[in-house]
A and B are shown apart, each in its own frame.
Chain A
Amino acid sequence: MTRFLLRGVRPLGCEPADLLLDEGRITETGPGLDAAGAEVVDGDGLVALPGLVDLHTHLREPGREDAETVETGTRAAAAGGYTAVFAMPNTDPAADTAGVVEQVWRLGREAGYADVQPIGAVTVGRAGSRLAELGAMADSAARVRVFSDDGDCVSDAVLMRRALEYVKAFDGVVAQHAQEPRLTEGAQMNESALSGVLGLRGWPAVAEEAVVARDALLAGHVRSRVHVCHVSTAGSVEIVRWAKAKGWQVTAEVTPHHLMLTEELARSYDPLYKVNPPLRTAEDVHALREALADGTVDCVATDHAPHSLEYKEAEWPAAAPGMLGLETALSAVQEAMVDTGLLDWAGVAERTSARPAAIGRLAGHGRPLAAGEPANVVLYDPSARWVVDPARLASRSRNTPYAGRELPGRVVATFLRGRPTVLEGKPV
Chain B
Amino acid sequence: MKRHLLSAGDLSRDDVTLVLDTAAELAKVASRPVKKLPTLRGRTAVNLFFEDSTRTRTSFEVAAKRLSADVINFSAKGSSVAKGESLKDTALTLEAMGADAVIVRHQASGTPLRLTNWIGGSVINAGDGTHEHPTQALLDAYTMRERLGRLEGLRVVIVGDVLHSRVARSNVLLLATAGAEVTLVGPPTLLPVGVEAWPSATSYDLDAVLPKCDVVMMLRVQQERMNAAFFPSAREYSRRYGLDARRMASLPEHAIVMHPGPMNRGMEIAAEVADSMRSTVTEQVANGVSVRMAVLYLLLGGAEPAIGAEPEAEEVVA
- Footprint of B on A, CB under 8 Å? 188, 191-202, 204, 264-265, 267-270, 310-311, 313-320, 404
Quick one: which of A196, A269, A318 contacts B81, CB cutoff 8 A? Answer: A318
The answer to whether B110 touches A316 (Cβ under 8 A) is: yes
The answer to whether A199 touches B109 (Cβ under 8 A) is: yes
The answer to whether A317 touches B109 (Cβ under 8 A) is: yes
Q: Which residues of A contact B263 (CB under 8 A)?
A: none
- Of the candidates A193, A197, A270, the one having the most CB atoms from chain B within 10 angstroms of its own CB is A197
A424 to chain B, nearest CB (A): 31
Task: Determine whether B75 belongs to the interface, using a CB cutoff of 8 Å to chain A.
Answer: no
Q: Which residues of A contact B87 (CB under 8 A)?
A: 313-315, 318
Quick one: which of A195, A311, A317, A319 contacts B193, CB cutoff 8 A? Answer: A195
Q: Which residues of B contact A204 (CB under 8 A)?
A: 193
The answer to whether A191 touches B109 (Cβ under 8 A) is: no
A355 to B197, CA, bound (A): 41
List 7 contacting pairs A-B, 8 Å CB cutoff, sorted by A: A193-B195, A194-B194, A202-B193, A267-B312, A269-B109, A314-B79, A316-B114
Q: A310-B86, A313-B88, A315-B87 are in contact. Are A196 and B313 (CB under 8 A)?
A: no
Q: Which residues of B contact A265 (CB under 8 A)?
A: 316-317
A267 to B195, CA, bound (A): 17
Task: Determine whether B131 belongs to the interface, using a CB cutoff of 8 Å to chain A.
Answer: yes
Q: A314-B87, A315-B111 are in contact. Are A195 and B129 (CB under 8 A)?
A: no
The answer to whether B197 touches A199 (Cβ under 8 A) is: no
The answer to whether B192 touches A196 (Cβ under 8 A) is: yes
- Of the candidates A269, A270, A319, the one having the most CB atoms from chain B within 10 angstroms of its own CB is A269
Q: Which residues of B contact A311 (CB under 8 A)?
A: 81
Q: Which residues of A contact B194 (CB under 8 A)?
A: 192-197
A315 to B169, CA, bound (A): 20
A208 to B134, CA, bound (A): 35
The answer to whether A315 touches B197 (Cβ under 8 A) is: no
B79-118 contacts to A (CB < 8 Å): 79-81, 86-88, 106, 108-111, 113-114
The answer to whether A315 touches B108 (Cβ under 8 A) is: yes
Q: Which residues of B contact A267 (CB under 8 A)?
A: 312-313, 316
Q: Which residues of B contact A192 (CB under 8 A)?
A: 193-194
Q: Which residues of A contact B79 (CB under 8 A)?
A: 314-315, 318
Given A196-B192, A198-B110, 7 extra CB contacts under 8 A: A192-B193, A195-B194, A198-B109, A199-B129, A269-B114, A269-B313, A310-B86
The answer to whether B169 touches A317 (Cβ under 8 A) is: no
Q: Which residues of B contact A318 (CB under 8 A)?
A: 79-81, 87, 108
The answer to whether A315 touches B193 (Cβ under 8 A) is: no
Quick one: which of B108, B166, B193 contacts A191, CB cutoff 8 A? Answer: B193
Chain A minimum-CB-distance residue to B9: A197
Task: Determine whether B203 belongs to the interface, using a CB cutoff of 8 Å to chain A.
Answer: no
A66 to chain B, nearest CB (A): 12
B129 to chain A, nearest CB (A): 5
A270 to B88, CA, bound (A): 13
Interface string of B149-192 (1 = CB under 8 A from A): 00000000000000100100100000000000000000000001
B176-229 contacts to A (CB < 8 Å): 192-198
The answer to whether A314 touches B81 (Cβ under 8 A) is: yes
Quick one: which of B128, B166, B197, B317 contacts A193, CB cutoff 8 A? Answer: B197
Task: Determine whether B22 belongs to the interface, using a CB cutoff of 8 Å to chain A.
Answer: no
A247 to B67, CA, bound (A): 74
- Of the candidates B80, B110, B192, B193, the one having the most CB atoms from chain A within 10 angstroms of its own CB is B110
A306 to B259, CA, bound (A): 46
Quick one: which of A195, A264, A320 contacts B316, CB cutoff 8 A? Answer: A264
The answer to whether B86 touches A314 (Cβ under 8 A) is: yes
- Of the candidates A313, A314, A315, A317, the one having the most CB atoms from chain B within 10 angstroms of its own CB is A315
Chain A minimum-CB-distance residue to B195: A196
Quick one: which of A191, A199, A310 contacts B169, CB cutoff 8 A? Answer: A199
B281 to chain A, nearest CB (A): 24
Q: Which residues of A contact B80 (CB under 8 A)?
A: 314, 318
Q: Which residues of B contact A188 (CB under 8 A)?
A: 109
A406 to chain B, nearest CB (A): 11
A323 to chain B, nearest CB (A): 14
The answer to whether A200 touches B110 (Cβ under 8 A) is: yes
The answer to whether B193 touches A199 (Cβ under 8 A) is: no
Quick one: which of B114, B192, B195 contacts A315, CB cutoff 8 A? Answer: B114
A314 to B113, CA, bound (A): 12
A30 to B308, CA, bound (A): 66
A395 to chain B, nearest CB (A): 19
Q: Which residues of A contact B86 (CB under 8 A)?
A: 310, 313-314
The answer to whether A268 touches B193 (Cβ under 8 A) is: no
A186 to chain B, nearest CB (A): 10
Nearest first, the 9 A-B pairs at minimum CB distance are A193-B194, A269-B110, A196-B192, A199-B131, A199-B130, A199-B109, A315-B108, A193-B197, A315-B111
Task: Determine whether B132 belongs to the interface, using a CB cutoff of 8 Å to chain A.
Answer: yes
B10 to chain A, nearest CB (A): 13
Quick one: which of B81, B128, B195, B196 contacts A199, CB cutoff 8 A? Answer: B128
Q: Which residues of A contact B131 (CB under 8 A)?
A: 198-200
A270 to B163, CA, bound (A): 22
Chain B minimum-CB-distance residue to A202: B193
Quick one: which of B195, B198, B316 contacts A268, CB cutoff 8 A? Answer: B316
Q: Which residues of A contact B313 (CB under 8 A)?
A: 267-270
Chain B minimum-CB-distance residue to A314: B81
The answer to whether B106 touches A315 (Cβ under 8 A) is: yes
Q: Which residues of A contact B113 (CB under 8 A)?
A: 268-269
The answer to whether B198 touches A197 (Cβ under 8 A) is: yes
Chain A minimum-CB-distance residue to B130: A199
A320 to B82, CA, bound (A): 11
- Of the candidates A188, A192, A268, A313, the one having the most CB atoms from chain B within 10 angstroms of its own CB is A268
Chain A minimum-CB-distance residue to B166: A199
B235 to chain A, nearest CB (A): 26
Q: Which residues of A contact B192 (CB under 8 A)?
A: 195-196, 202
Q: A310-B86, A314-B81, A318-B81 are in contact. Are A197 and B169 (CB under 8 A)?
A: yes
B224 to chain A, nearest CB (A): 13
B264 to chain A, nearest CB (A): 21
Chain B minimum-CB-distance residue to A307: B81
Chain B minimum-CB-distance residue to A319: B81
Q: Which residues of B contact A195 (CB under 8 A)?
A: 192-194
